[in-house]
Each structure stands twice: as C-alpha cells, then as structure tokens.
C-alpha cells in the first residue's frame, strides 16, 4: 500500500479562501466478480474495478474546479462521490467540514438540511427531466423536498423568478420538457438546481450534448450565475477547451487517479505530467489548419487490469524501470501545483536506468 | 492533386469527383411537407477533403445519406441532382446504388460497433466486401484484407483478422471500419462524425489515419462533424450548413480566420479555445429553427445582427465573398 500523502491540503489552503469541499484519499471500488457459484466452480477470483483510487483534492468557496480526463477515467464517479450518490470505499469526502454521508442528517434549521447546499447538473438534459411533469413542477420540486416554501403562491412566484434568471419566460412553467430545445432544457436543469439556493454545484459534462453556439450560451449563463450568487462549481468535462474556459483550478485524471492539479493558466500553458501534455497535444485546434503531428500511440488500458506502478507508464515517453514498480504519489512541485510523476518529482530520475 | 486553395472548382477546369446541384430532400409528414435540405450545391475534387459542419439538425448527415443513397424513408430526394464522375447517381435504382456503394462511395459512421456485425470475424466482413466488389479469389481477398488492416494501423493483422469486433477497442474498431470502407478502393468516403465517439488521444490517431489515406490513395473525403477542431486539422475546404442550406463554403483557413457569413462568424467566436483565455464567449442568441418553422427569406435572419429588410423577404444565394462563397445579402451591398 502507498503511504497516505496529504501534501495536498496544507499549502493550498493557506493560499486564501475557505475550503468548501475536501476529498481525502477517496476511493471507489466496484465489485465486478462473477456470481458466487461461478467463482466456486470455475475457481475465478473476486474482481474489483478501482474506478477512483486514492484521490485527494480540495475546492475552495467560490472557485470552479475543473476535472478532465478520457472516458472511463473516473471523473463521473468522483462527481457521484462528491454529492453522496456513492459512498467511498476508502477515504472520505467532507463538505463544510462534515462527512458527506451525514449531510442529510445535519440540520441547518428546523426544516432544511445541509443537503440543499449541494446540487447536480447532468449531461443529458433529455434524460434528467421527467417528461410527464411540467417545467413548473420540475423546478418547484427541490423547494418542496427541502420544505423551503410552504404556500403555493410563494412557490409559483419563486419558480417564475428562477426561470427568469436562467433566461426562460415565467409562462414556460406550464409547458413540458419536450417542448423545449436542448439548450433550453439544460437551462431548466440549471433552474432546478438553483431552486434550493445551493452553494456547490456539481456539473457533470453539462454542455457535452449541446451544439457550440448553445454551449456558449449555457457557459456564459453559468459564469453569470456564479458571479451573482457566489457559487462553487465542480466542472467535469472531456472537452479541455471548455474546462479551460470555466475553471480556476484543474485536475487531470487517468485511470482513476489524479495525475496533475494546477491553476488553470499554469496547467494549460506549462503542463508537467506527460499525460497532461499528451492530452493537450491531442486536441484538434483551430490554429493548426493543415498541419501534421504525431499522435501518441496506444489506448487507455483496461481499468480492470491497470498497469503496475504508474498507470501511464506503458504510453509514457519518459518511463523508466521505477515507473513500472512504484506508483508515484501526487506531490507538490511548487506553490500551486501537484504532479504524480517520478520524472518531475525525482531529481535523480534522469540518472536512473532506462527500462 | 487539385489545389487546396481553390474554393470554386469549376474555374480550374478540372471536373469535380462529386457534384451536388440544388439538392432538395423532403419528408412528407401528417402536418405537411418538411424540407430538410433546400438547394444544397457543392462539389468535391479528387483527393480533396471537404468538411461539412453545422449544428444538429442542420442537414449535414442528411446530405451524406442522400449521396450514398441511404435516405431513411419517407425521406426522399425531391429535386436537384447528384453527379459522380460525370454520371448522375441520384436517379439510380436501389440495386444500382447497392453496387456503387462500397465500390465507389464508402461510408464511415460515428459508432464503430454498430457498423460491424458482431457475429462475424472482421476478416469475414472484409473478404465479403472485397469479393462483392472486386473479382478476387478467397485467398487473394484474404491477403488484401490483411493488407488493409495493416494499412489502417492494426498491429499483428494476420492474427487480428480472425478476431470478432468485440475483441477490439473503440479506436481499433474504428480502424477496422476504415479498412472496410477502403476494401474496394472507393473514390469517395463519406465519413459521418468518425471521431465523435472516441477519446481525444484516439481521435488524433484516427484523424491522422484519414489524412494518410486521402494522401496515399488519393481518396476524396466528405468529413461530416460538429467539431471545428477536427475540420481545421483535416479538411481542405469547409461547408457550413444552417437549417438545411449551405451558409458559407470556402478554404479551411479563410473560413476559420476570416469568415464572412454572420452565422459562421458567430459559430467561430462561440468555440472556447485551448490556447487563449477569454472571460466570456461570444454567443448567438436563440437556436436553429425547427424544419417546420424555417423563417421566410434568409433562414438565419431572426438571430442575425446584420439583418435588414431584404433578409426577411428574399432568400440569399451563395455568392462570391472574397475568399469564400457566402449566402448573405449584407455582403452584396
């Protein structure tokens, strides 16, 4: 086992801002074993998928933390751990200092629990809205669940206000989701998420299903709302350009592990981890018309059988023997950024034996 | 090789490989006729990659489907012509189209798993396609299948040829689909969102492969995608579609850096960039109209900041706009 490395928390916390969300060595394993009888007869072992493996980071009040990575790297599992939809298999997630699994029980007043402060926006606005409910019912639901408003007229008034804030008309409350376009449906999701006056929004690929011109509208809206309400975002996307546009700090994930965490500009201009650099280099870019480049070979390994040591070593141009044996921990390399790579953190790395 | 710079192929004297002339596609519905493609005209030269971009519902995929003769009924070609190497193909019978498809025009779709038959080995699917279109013996076609797999960058093709699609990863599967498309040396490949389902690092590999194929074999590619980044790296020319019409068409560099049509301008400005940090993205208000409520005159007029009285009444045709051709009245003033 790796020693617990908590280097994440201290220096970052000092750099100003109150920590809202703390993720400490959080892991999520899924049991993907064969059924019991098959294991008995065919002598198959139990198998676990390490979807998220000892991930630590913090999100400060009012900031946007971006999480990027390729499909299957565990981004969405992290999102679900953060809102408490999954329980951690190891480590913990804390919101305002309270363990996330207790969030429903901690009362902030007679009626509402801390839960109302965390909301989620999903990728597919078609699937995340109930087609049989009117928009008014959908947006009013959090108000009713958290018993924030009692009278019918007050709820209607609040729904109209919320719809106005996301750029829809108050009269839209009487319509059904299928009567709206994709961008408008995502606005409805945002209005619903805002209904309980949350502080922390977990956005899992909120614009991936949208066209670019509509994506721009939704991203601008999310930024405006953040300014007005002082919201904190966890923004998950596979689209690096979108993450660059919205985030203050960015974490890069590979096969369930965080490989690099850095402030936005630092990450996109001076990325250190070889995987981050490969990702940045792989993005098709408007400025590169007609140019050729050499893409990195290989694909993301099977997460059921991740490579030993550093999970990226089979594709890494810098890999040496140590990378196969040992797993690099996420360590601070300067005031603001953390990298999990021996080539960066080990001063004697270049002198070591090649593979 | 045709010049990459030319946006209007006719003036170079060379006959285009594929030409669409005023193509119209309609869907009869209970509520009336929906015109999904309206007067779409463009051409593709030999060895050229034409990118077709637009938002969902703009008619990009439908244009591709019309060319390969796979319009989903009740959709039908209601007007216009499609010419391939001087032959008109839109009037072909389904039987004649079936012979043409795969041999002269091949298609690559977004999801590689649904374009491959899960019950047959990739070798079987490749040799079937080869033997359908080329007169080769089984062992010759198997040999060709191995070569195709090798060409598309699949390691150990002699071994992999006997594997089933599920034994390949997403990126490798898309390579198999490309090998399948190349089976009978087609002149044109219609690639509909070929990299959309793939991760960025794999996407970069597939883009490179498509470019290599186009360069080495002289195959023309019609690349349909919503991702401007992919277009920028792959295409020679770009056609931007809006509400079933071509809004602007021109050389890729001019289209990205010096677009003329207000829609193309808005589209380019709304794309977040990985290189530069902007506080706010430019946004086009509203959304593309549904097919049953396309406004009179220019389809873009309700969202356009430059509109004037003529845009509300008369529909603009594609016209010379310097480096590109754009359908906009504001440019002819």
**pLDDT, tens digit, 9 for 90 and up, residues B42-60:** 999 999 999 999 888 899 9
b/e per residue, A200-221, with b = 16+ CB within 10 A? bbbbbbbbebbbbbbbbbbbbb
Whether residue A203 contacts residue A234, with contact meaning beta carbons closer than 8 Å, is answered with: yes
Cα B207 to chain center, whole Å?
14
Residue B41 CA to residue A322 CA, distance in Å, equals 59
Calculate the alpha carbon distances from A329 to A16, A277, B78 in Å: 25, 18, 63
Angle, vertex CA A290, rays to CA A288 and CA A296, nearest 5 = 65
Nearest to B40 by CA among B55, B60, B56, B57: B60
Cα radius of gyration (chain B) = 21
Cα A53 to chain center, whole Å?
14
SS3 A347: coil
Instruction: Kindly state whether B305 is in contact with chain A, defined as any CB-CB distance less than 8 angstroms.
Output: no
Question: What is the average per-residue pLDDT within B309-324?
Answer: 92
Instruction: Kindly state whether B226 is in contact with chain A, defined as any CB-CB distance less than 8 angstroms.
Output: yes
Residues of B in contact with A211 (CB under 8 A): 55-56, 226, 288
User: Which pLDDT band, with edges at 50, 70 and 90, does A353 fall under?
Assistant: low
User: Which pLDDT band, with edges at 50, 70 and 90, does A33 fall under?
Assistant: confident
User: Which pLDDT band, with edges at 50, 70 and 90, does A354 fall under?
Assistant: low
Residue A276 CA to residue A297 CA, distance in Å, equals 15
Any idea of the CA torsion for A279, A284, A288, A289, to the nearest 10 degrees? 160
pLDDT of residue B169: 84
Cross-chain residue pair B282–A71, CB shorter than 8 Å? no
On the CB side of A153, how many CA atoms lie within 13 Å of its CA? 0
Of residues B253, B271, B285, nearest to A212 (C-beta): B271
Whether residue B133 contacts residue B184, with contact meaning beta carbons closer than 8 Å, is answered with: yes
Please give the order of strands across the beta sheet that includes A64-68. A118-121, A200-204, A232-236, A64-68, A249-254, A257-263, A338-339, A331-332
End-to-end CA separation in angstroms for chain A: 23
pLDDT of residue A296: 67
Nearest to A136 by CA among A69, A191, A93, A55: A191
Q: Residue A173 is encoded by which pair of tokens?
A: 């409350």
Q: Is residue B165 over pLDDT 50?
A: yes
Cross-chain residue pair A213–B55, CB shorter than 8 Å? yes
pLDDT of residue A6: 38
> What's the pLDDT tens digit per position in A129-154?
999 999 999 999 999 988 888 899 99
Cross-chain residue pair B277–A244, CB shorter than 8 Å? yes
Which residue in A has a C-alpha nearest to residue B168's C-alpha? Answer: A299
User: Which pLDDT band, with edges at 50, 70 and 90, does A212 fall under?
Assistant: confident
SS3 A180: coil
Nearest to B220 by CA among B52, B91, B75, B97: B52
Name the phi and psi angles at A309, rounded to 5: 60, -135
Residue A192 CA to residue A215 CA, distance in Å, equals 18
pLDDT of residue A291: 59
User: Which pLDDT band, with edges at 50, 70 and 90, does A2 fall under?
Assistant: very low
Q: Is residue A295 over pLDDT 90?
A: no
pLDDT of residue B197: 80
SS3 B113: helix
pLDDT of residue B273: 82
Cα B31 to chain center, whole Å?
30
Q: Residue A299 is encoded by which pair of tokens?
A: 């694909």
Instruction: Kindly state whether A179 is in contact with chain B, defined as any CB-CB distance less than 8 angstroms.
Output: no
Which residue in A has a C-alpha nearest to residue B256's C-alpha? Answer: A286
Cβ count within 10 A of residue B60: 26
Q: Is residue A11 over pLDDT 50?
A: no
Instruction: Kindly state whether A249 is in contact with chain B, defined as any CB-CB distance less than 8 angstroms.
Output: no
**Per-residue DSSP letter, A354:** B
Cα A303 to chain center, whole Å?
18
pLDDT of residue B5: 41
User: Which pLDDT band, with edges at 50, 70 and 90, does B4 fall under?
Assistant: very low
Q: Which residue has the tokens 């959908």?
A: A138
Residues of A in contact with B253 (CB under 8 A): 289-290
Residues of A in contact with B172 (CB under 8 A): 299
Nearest to A234 by CA among A22, A17, A44, A7: A22
Nearest to A110 by CA among A143, A147, A141, A140: A147
Calculate the alpha carbon distances from B291 to B22, B24, B245, B265 in Å: 18, 13, 11, 23
Whether residue B239 contacts residue B58, with contact meaning beta carbons closer than 8 Å, is answered with: no
Cross-chain residue pair A213–B200, CB shorter than 8 Å? no
On the CB side of B33, how many CA atoms lie within 13 Å of its CA? 9
pLDDT of residue B8: 44
Instruction: Kindly state whether A216 is in contact with chain B, defined as any CB-CB distance less than 8 angstroms.
Output: yes
Q: At what angle do helices B262-269 and A212-229 cross, to 10 degrees?
A: 50
Q: Is residue B168 over pLDDT 80?
A: yes
In the stretch 34-93 of chain B, residues with CB closer than 8 A to chain A read 55-56
A348-354 contact pairs (CB < 8 A, 24+): A349/A318, A349/A320, A349/A322, A352/A320, A352/A321, A352/A322, A353/A320, A353/A321, A354/A320, A354/A321
Name the phi and psi angles at B43, rounded to 5: -135, 160
Question: Residue A98 is inside which H or E element, if any?
Answer: strand A98-99
Residue A230 CA to residue A340 CA, distance in Å, equals 31
Nearest to A253 by CA among A181, A306, A195: A306
Q: At what angle do helices B170-181 and B138-151 cross, to 10 degrees?
A: 130
Q: Which residue has the tokens 């996307």?
A: A237
In the stretch 76-105 of chain A, residues with CB closer than 8 A to chain B read none
Pairing of strands A249-254, A64-68: parallel
Cα radius of gyration (chain A) = 22
Question: What is the average per-residue pLDDT within B269-288?
Answer: 82
User: Which pLDDT band, with edges at 50, 70 and 90, does B10 fall under?
Assistant: very low
Cβ count within 10 A of residue B192: 20
Provide the total of helices (H) and of strands (E) in chain B, helices listed first: 12, 12
Q: What is the ipTM of this complex?
A: 0.78
Residue A174 CA to residue A190 CA, distance in Å, equals 17
* pTM attached to this predicted model: 0.83
Q: Which of A284-298, B83-97, B254-268, B284-298 has the lowest mean pLDDT?
A: A284-298
Name the phi and psi angles at A59, rounded to 5: -125, 130
Q: Is residue A15 over pLDDT 50?
A: no
Whether residue B187 contacts residue B17, with contact meaning beta carbons closer than 8 Å, is answered with: yes
Q: Is residue B41 over pLDDT 90?
A: yes
Task: Give the sign of the dihedral formed by CA A167, CA A172, CA A176, CA A180.
Answer: negative
Question: Residue A64 is inside which H or E element, if any?
Answer: strand A64-68
Instruction: Kindly state whether B278 is in contact with chain A, defined as any CB-CB distance less than 8 angstroms.
Output: yes
Q: Is residue B159 over pLDDT 80?
A: yes
Q: Is residue A80 over pLDDT 80?
A: yes
User: Which pLDDT band, with edges at 50, 70 and 90, does B286 fall under?
Assistant: confident
Size of interface A-B (CB pairs under 8 A): 139
pLDDT of residue A183: 87
Of residues A184, A213, A245, nearest to B284 (C-beta): A213
Cβ count within 10 A of residue B249: 27
Residues of B in contact with A245 (CB under 8 A): 272-273, 277-278, 281
Which residue in B has a C-alpha nearest to residue A281's C-alpha? Answer: B201
Minimal CA separation from A31 to chain B, in Å? 22
């Amino acid at each position: 086992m790796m020693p617990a490395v908590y280097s994440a928390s201290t220096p970052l916390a000092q750099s100003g801002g109150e920590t809202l969300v703390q993720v400490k060595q959080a892991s999520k394993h899924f049991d993907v074993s064969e059924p019991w009888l098959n294991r008995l007869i065919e002598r198959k072992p139990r198998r676990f998928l390490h979807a998220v493996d000892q991930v630590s980071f913090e999100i400060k009040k009012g900031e946007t933390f971006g999480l990027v990575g390729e499909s299957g790297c565990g981004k969405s599992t992290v999102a679900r751990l953060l809102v408490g939809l999954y329980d951690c298999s190891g480590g913990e997630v804390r919101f305002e200092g309270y363990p996330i699994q207790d969030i429903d029980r901690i009362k902030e007043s007679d009626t509402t629990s801390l839960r109302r402060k965390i909301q989620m926006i999903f990728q597919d606005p078609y699937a995340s809205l109930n087609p049989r409910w009117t928009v008014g019912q959908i947006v009013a639901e959090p108000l009713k669940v958290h018993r924030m408003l009692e009278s019918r007229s007050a709820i209607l008034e609040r729904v109209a206000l919320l719809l106005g804030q996301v750029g829809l008309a108050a009269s839209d409350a009487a319509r059904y989701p299928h009567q709206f376009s994709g961008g408008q449906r995502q606005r409805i999701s945002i209005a619903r998420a805002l209904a309980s006056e949350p502080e922390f929004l977990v956005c899992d690929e909120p614009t991936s299903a949208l066209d670019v011109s509509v994506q721009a509208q939704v991203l601008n809206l999310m930024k405006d709302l953040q300014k007005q309400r002082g919201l904190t975002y966890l923004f998950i996307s596979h689209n690096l350009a979108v993450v660059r546009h919205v985030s203050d700090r960015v974490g890069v994930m590979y096969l369930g592990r965080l490989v690099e965490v850095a402030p936005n500009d630092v990450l996109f201009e001076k990325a250190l981890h070889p995987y981050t650099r490969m990702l940045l280099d792989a993005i098709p870019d408007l400025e590169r018309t007609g140019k050729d480049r050499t893409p990195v070979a290989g694909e993301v390994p099977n997460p059921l059988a991740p490579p030993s040591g550093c999970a990226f070593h089979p594709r890494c141009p810098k890999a040496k023997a140590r990378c196969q044996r040992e797993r690099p921990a996420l360590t601070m390399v300067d005031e603001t950024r953390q990298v999990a790579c021996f080539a960066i953190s080990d001063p004697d790395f270049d002198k070591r034996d090649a593979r | 090789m045709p010049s990459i710079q030319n946006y209007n192929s006719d003036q170079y004297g060379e006959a285009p490989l594929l030409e669409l002339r005023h193509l119209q596609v309609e869907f009869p519905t209970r509520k009336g006729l929906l015109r999904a493609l309206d007067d779409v005209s463009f051409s593709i030269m030999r060895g050229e990659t034409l990118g077709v971009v637009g938002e969902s519902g703009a008619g990009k995929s439908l244009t591709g489907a019309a060319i390969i003769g796979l319009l989903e009924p009740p959709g039908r070609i209601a007007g216009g012509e499609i010419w391939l190497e001087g032959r008109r193909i839109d009037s072909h019978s389904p039987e004649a189209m079936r012979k043409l498809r795969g041999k002269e025009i091949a298609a690559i779709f977004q999801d590689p798993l649904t374009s491959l038959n899960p019950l047959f080995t990739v070798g079987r699917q490749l040799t079937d396609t080869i033997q359908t279109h080329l007169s080769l013996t089984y062992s010759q076609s198997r040999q060709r299948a191995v070569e195709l797999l090798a060409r598309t960058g699949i390691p150990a093709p002699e071994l992999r040829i006997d594997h089933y699609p599920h034994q390949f990863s997403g990126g490798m599967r898309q390579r198999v689909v490309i090998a399948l498309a190349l089976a009978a040396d087609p002149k044109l490949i219609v690639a509909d969102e070929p990299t959309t389902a793939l991760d960025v690092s794999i996407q970069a590999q597939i883009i490179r492969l498509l470019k290599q194929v186009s360069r080495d074999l002289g195959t023309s590619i019609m690349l349909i995608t919503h991702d401007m980044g992919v277009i920028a790296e792959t295409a020679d020319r770009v056609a931007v579609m809006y509400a079933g019409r071509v809004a602007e068409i021109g050389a890729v560099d001019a289209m990205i850096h010096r677009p003329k049509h207000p829609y193309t301008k808005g589209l380019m400005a709304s794309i977040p960039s990985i290189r530069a940090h902007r506080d706010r993205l430019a946004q086009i208000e509203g959304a593309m109209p549904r097919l049953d409520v396309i406004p009179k005159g220019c389809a873009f007029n309700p969202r356009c900041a430059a509109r004037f009285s003529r845009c509300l009444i008369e529909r603009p045709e594609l016209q010379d706009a310097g480096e590109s051709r754009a359908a906009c009245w504001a440019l002819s003033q």
